[in-house]
Structure 1
Amino acid sequence: MSEAQVAGGHKANLNNPNTSEEAKEHSRQVLNEEFNGGDVPKATDSGDKNPNNVAGGLKATLNNPKVSDEAKESAKERLGQMDN
């Protein structure tokens, strides 16, 4: 599990109305002590994206009738750039 995922879990815990105040306090302490208040890069910021997954998502965008023409054009351009 990445640091971003751990920090994200603690952040979610703070916003969960079903979580006890004791658990929320623990999450606050972990975020403050280990994650600079929760300021960690997102998991997707690492640049470790699987190119095949990215291409699959872009292709799905092209075939989704609920996606705008502008978004489809952007996906088509990005797919073209990946082929180079």
Structure 2
Amino acid sequence: MPTDAQVAGGHKATLNNPNVSQEAKEHSKQVLENDFNGGDVPKAGDDESKNPGNVAGGLKATMKNPNVSEEAKESAKERLDNM
């Protein structure tokens, strides 16, 4: 079942897709205005909705990934230390 943020994100994508009819864009605009305060909903990835164990695992993986910049590794280490 999609979250509100995912549904709103789909409607936002519809508004920006040049291959979508004007009618579909109008529908998505109305849904966002009526059901989602104009599209102002929390992102699906907000920290309170995430599993802390999964977040920690992702941060640890970031720190060991050779394709990640040193800056990103430091940021991941700081976030992990603050958990």
Give the corresponding residue for 1:41.
Answer: 42
Alpha-carbon RMSD: 1.6
- The answer for unaligned runs of 5 or more in structure 1 is none
How far is the alpha carbon of 1:77 from its aligned partner? 3.0
Q: Identical aligned pairs, as a percentage?
A: 74
Counterparts of 2:14 and 2:33, CA distance in 1: 14
The one-letter code sitting in structure 1 at the alignment partner of 2:43 is: K
Q: TM-score, normalised by structure 2?
A: 0.83
Task: Look up the SS of the partner of 1:43 in the other structure.
Answer: coil
Q: Please list every run of 5 or more consecutive structure 2 residues that lacks an aligned counterpart in the other structure.
A: none
The equivalent residue for 1:62 is 63
Q: Which runs of 4+ in 1 moved over 2 A?
A: 76-82
Query: Partner letter of residue 55 of structure 2?
Result: V
TM, length-normalised to structure 1: 0.82
Alpha-carbon separation, structure 2, partners of 1:10 and 1:19: 11
Once residues 11 and 33 of structure 1 are traced to their aligned partners in structure 2, the CA distance between those partners, rounded to angstroms, is: 14
Aligned residue in 1 for 2:16: 15
How many residues get paired? Answer: 82
